[in-house]
Amino acid sequence: MYPRIIVMGLVLGLLSACASAPRRASDWSREDAHTSGSVVAFNQGSTLLASGGLGGWVSLWSLPEGGAGPGWRAHDGPVTGLAFIDGQDRILSAGWDGTLALWSQPGVLERRLVTTGPVTAIAFESASRRLLTGYSDGSVQGWALPDLEPLYRQRLHQGKVKAVAIQSGGSILASSGTDGQVFLWREGGPARDLEAPASDVWSLAFSPDRKYLMGSGWFNIFRWSLDNERLVVLPTEHHGIISSISFSEEGSLAAISRQTDSAVDILDPSSGLVLERLQKHALCGSDVSFAPNSRYLATTSDDASVRFWDIGTGDETPPPDAAVPVQPLQ
């Protein structure tokens, strides 16, 4: 039986979340970008957006106008990760088919590497040129780019890896899994498990100030201090699973949710309070990403759309239902 708080959230979400009126409308939306969207990623210059879907296709969009670029079939099954690994052009894609693919330009395959199983999550850190992949068998694999040189592999989780993250500079890494555990380690060092929250951690991100590891789950944002590894739970306005989070360079935290909710919010990572409410998707949200310039934001969803916001423009008037401050759960 679900805990009472989850049942309450399900009821509230079913009544209001996915049918709520839009907040700040997206600057553009491509409603049939994929059969069902799974991931989005910006290039380093914030001039291109790549999106992937459950059908295995990758599409490119020029920014900020949103003009459609080339699209190609990258994987036999869902695209589970995307990254621009050389700033502007070369793209790495990961798939449930168990492969990593390097594309020298759109649709031109440079190399395809068959790994040990379905890839469930990736993280790329540009300064250290490190890639971290998570797998359905609970293992994580570290790689050095540009040649995809394997560095290490270890099985940390007793279930599927849900999320991985790399701190700026590549010094600290993290993973979460369906077993409810969250691990933290330095490259070449042993992994240690952090205090686990009450729900699985669906997404992970290190704060730009290098002080915290942030995660997300049912309704809440999770924050672990990298000094003492203490866990603080931050309630949010989301009525379902927060499936993805992303930091801007200035430290704002974007979040998108699913199940009983499809909201896109920009949050204060110290409190979980909403800084800005953005247009909801028609169906459950999948992925959210800030661009390196911190001005652009993109999302994708089960509703097959890709959406884009230029956060630096538009109506900045706060919504009438402004958030009431809440205290973090200790």
CA–CA gap between residue 97 and residue 114 (Å, rounded): 9
Q: Is the pLDDT of residue 311 over 50?
A: yes
Q: Is the peptide bond before 146 cis (omega within 30 degrees of 0)?
A: yes
Average pLDDT, the chain: 87
Query: Residue type for 215, please?
Result: G
pLDDT (tens digit per residue) in 216-258: 999 999 999 999 999 999 999 999 999 999 999 999 999 999 9
How far separated are the first and last CA of the chain, in Å rounded? 25
CB 58 within 8 A of CB 91: yes
CA–CA gap between residue 124 and residue 96 (Å, rounded): 18
Whether residue 244 lies inside any domain: the answer is yes
> In sequence order, what are the residues at sequence separation of 6 or more whose Cβ sits closer than 8 angstroms to the Cβ of residue 317?
none
Number of domains within the chain: 1
CA dihedral sign, ordered 51, 57, 58, 60? negative
Token digits for 177?
Answer: 């899994």
Whether residue 319 lies inside any domain: the answer is no
Whether residue 322 lies inside any domain: the answer is no
pTM: 0.86
Whether residue 112 lies inside any domain: the answer is yes
Residue bearing tokens 């900020």? 64
Looking at 43-47, 84-88, 270-274, which range is the least confident one? 84-88
CA–CA gap between residue 224 and residue 214 (Å, rounded): 6
What pLDDT does residue 84 have? 94
CA–CA gap between residue 172 and residue 184 (Å, rounded): 7
pLDDT (tens digit per residue) in 9-58: 444 444 444 444 458 999 999 998 998 999 999 999 999 999 999 999 99
Residue bearing tokens 């699973």? 241
CATH code of residue 11: 2.130.10.10
Whether residue 88 lies inside any domain: the answer is yes
CA–CA gap between residue 137 and residue 157 (Å, rounded): 8
Whether residue 54 lies inside any domain: the answer is yes
What letter does residue 280 receive in the DSSP assignment?
Answer: P
CB-count exposure of residue 322 (10 Å: 0-12, 13-18, 19+): exposed
CB 264 within 8 A of CB 298: no
Give the model's confidence band at 93: pLDDT under 50 very low, under 70 low, under 90 confident, else very high.
very high
Radius of gyration for the chain, computed over Cα atoms and rounded to the nearest angstrom: 18
Whether residue 185 lies inside any domain: the answer is yes
> In sequence order, what are the residues at sequence separation of 6 or more whose Cβ sits closer than 8 angstroms to the Cβ of residue 190?
none
Whether residue 321 lies inside any domain: the answer is no
Which strands make up the sheet holding 231-235, listed edge to edge? 203-206, 212-216, 220-225, 231-235
What pLDDT does residue 308 have? 97
The whole domain housing 26 covers 4-310
The full length of the chain comes to 330
